[in-house]
Amino acid sequence: MDFPRVHDASGVRSDGPLRAVAGPVRGAFAPRRNALAVRRLDRGRALPGGARKEADPGLRLLPARLGAAEDRAPDEPVRPPRLSRRAAALAPSSTTAVARKAKALAATGVDVVDLGLGEPDFPTPDFVGAAGIAAIESGRTRYTDVAGEPALRDAIAEKYRREHGIALSRENVLVTAGAKQAVFNACQVLFEAEDEVALFCPYWVSFPEMVRLSGASPLYVPTELETHWKPIASDLAERATERTRGVILNSPNNPTGAVVEREQLESIVEWCEARDSCMIFDETYDRFLYDGRPHVTAASLREEHPDRIVLTGAASKTWAMTGWRLGWAIASRELIDAMASYQSHSTSNASSISQRAALGALSDPAQTDEAVARMLAEYGRRRETMVSGLAAIPGVRCLLPEGAFYAFADVSALYGAKQVAGSAEFCERLLSETGVAAVPGDAFGEDDCVRFSFAAPLASIEEGVGRIAAWAAAPVRSA
């Protein structure tokens, strides 16, 4: 078959056939076809093994570009792409924004004390790293089942049996790229437009955005410093409407460290069951509770895993594995299947190497307990230092957190003296004037507060708290 001679966009003549598509060339393009740039299909190009590529006689012309766009003047610069409404409405994570600012400031030579990041500063334990290395060396570098390697799903189910006496099977487990993806997937399969999802406030920064990305709207249920930031079931019942289809509860809580009381949790689960609502229970910090407090998991409230609860957890904090991206969701088989289906079209399986590392971690409870105990003891020392230092600053109110590794301090009494409008401005001034990075409470829905992370060395905490105290006491600098 003969192909028309055409010139490509660079003016070079081509004798080859035009790049092809299966469908017909649209009528509107046909008259302009010769004026359009086209890409040549390299007929006759040698292929490996000496074969030659034959043109498909059924192929049709594909314009490489459509010429000048009708809605843009020729001399007008190309506009940036239009963002979807979804993306445009999305607020970037404040915690990562603070980290970026702190890094940028440090790059200018400022001695920054970073109390912003919610990331363990401990290395991943050797026995876990070794399992990851073994995975690479033995070639476990291929796709796994979308829902995760069966052995890892079994090991996660076994963790719940061991720690909480809950009977689960691998069909109740989905392995994800971190707890974040587990919560995200759950929101996607459970909620939709018109739904409301209740969030106890202060909430983890990503919850409201994940709810919005599902099409639903967040419904905020406040908790108070005076009641130790504890979620209270009757507050939820009071605020909920008939559109409230879900609750996201995080215990121990980021940013407050509050641990939900068992009776309150029971009442919230009962409320969900009575209301045809679902609960996502995020227990990312399940191993980090102080003063011997036990972790209460929503799954342990019933003999069978409650159909209306999705538990989310991760290897990220327990084994200091944030960068490995490994988490999980626990739910009924039907919900796990729905989430796996969703994941099959987004990220597929979590990293095969991280899955083997997590399997190594979960298969060795003795070494895990030892590693966790070491980290917890160190976090405990830092907690005392940070909270006693902050609470001693006039105008600062701060409770000892029961879990996680954050101090959530009410600094609003300093706003007037520092002439700031709220927590964002407070943190900006704190960073620029003292080099201490912290996350504004408004990112968590509580503008009176600031979150200080004690996942930082003790010396940094002492230095940081000292700088904050001196700054709080100093008169306001004129601009």
Ligand X SMILES: Cc1ncc(COP(=O)(O)O)c(C=O)c1O
Which residues make up the interface to ligand X (CB under 6 A)? 118, 178-180, 204, 250, 254, 282, 284, 314, 316, 322, 327
Minimum distance, C-beta of residue 195 to ligand X, in the bound complex (Å): 21
Minimum distance, C-beta of residue 356 to ligand X, in the bound complex (Å): 17
Angle, helix 150-164 to helix 352-362, in steps of 10 degrees = 30
Please report the sign of the dihedral spanned by the C-alpha atoms of residue 162, residue 164, residue 167, residue 170: negative
**Residues in contact with 233: Cβ distance below 8 Å, sequence separation at least 6, in sequence order:** 264, 267, 268, 271
Q: Which is nearer to ligand X, 14 or 284 (CB)?
A: 284
> Between β-strands 309-314 and 278-282, what pairing exists: parallel, antiparallel or unpaired?
parallel
Minimum distance, C-beta of residue 83 to ligand X, in the bound complex (Å): 24
In the chain, the N- to C-terminal Cα span, in Å, equals: 77
448 to 205, 397, 417, 467: CA distances (angstroms) = 16, 10, 14, 20
Q: Which is nearer to ligand X, 254 or 264 (CB)?
A: 254
**Residues in contact with 68: Cβ distance below 8 Å, sequence separation at least 6, in sequence order:** 74
Minimum distance, C-beta of residue 327 to ligand X, in the bound complex (Å): 4
**Could you give the CA distance from residue 114 to residue 124 in angstroms, rounded to a whole number?**
20
And the tokens for 11? 């003016």
Minimum distance, C-beta of residue 282 to ligand X, in the bound complex (Å): 5
**Could you give the CA distance from residue 477 to residue 479 in angstroms, rounded to a whole number?**
6
Q: Which is nearer to ligand X, 311 or 399 (CB)?
A: 311
Q: Which is nearer to ligand X, 179 or 361 (CB)?
A: 179
Minimum distance, C-beta of residue 466 to ligand X, in the bound complex (Å): 26
Q: Which is nearer to ligand X, 222 or 466 (CB)?
A: 222
Do you find a cis peptide bond into 17, omega within 30 degrees of 0?
no
Q: Which is nearer to ligand X, 277 or 316 (CB)?
A: 316
Q: Which is nearer to ligand X, 379 or 418 (CB)?
A: 379
Minimum distance, C-beta of residue 9 to ligand X, in the bound complex (Å): 45
**Residues in contact with 344: Cβ distance below 8 Å, sequence separation at least 6, in sequence order:** 146
Q: Which is nearer to ligand X, 204 or 271 (CB)?
A: 204
Residue facing ligand X at closest CB distance? 178
Minimum distance, C-beta of residue 314 to ligand X, in the bound complex (Å): 3
Please tell me the number of Cα atoms within 13 Å of 169 on its side-chain side: 4
**Could you give the CA distance from residue 177 to residue 148 in angstroms, rounded to a whole number?**
10
Assess contact for 471 and 389: CB atoms under 8 A.
no
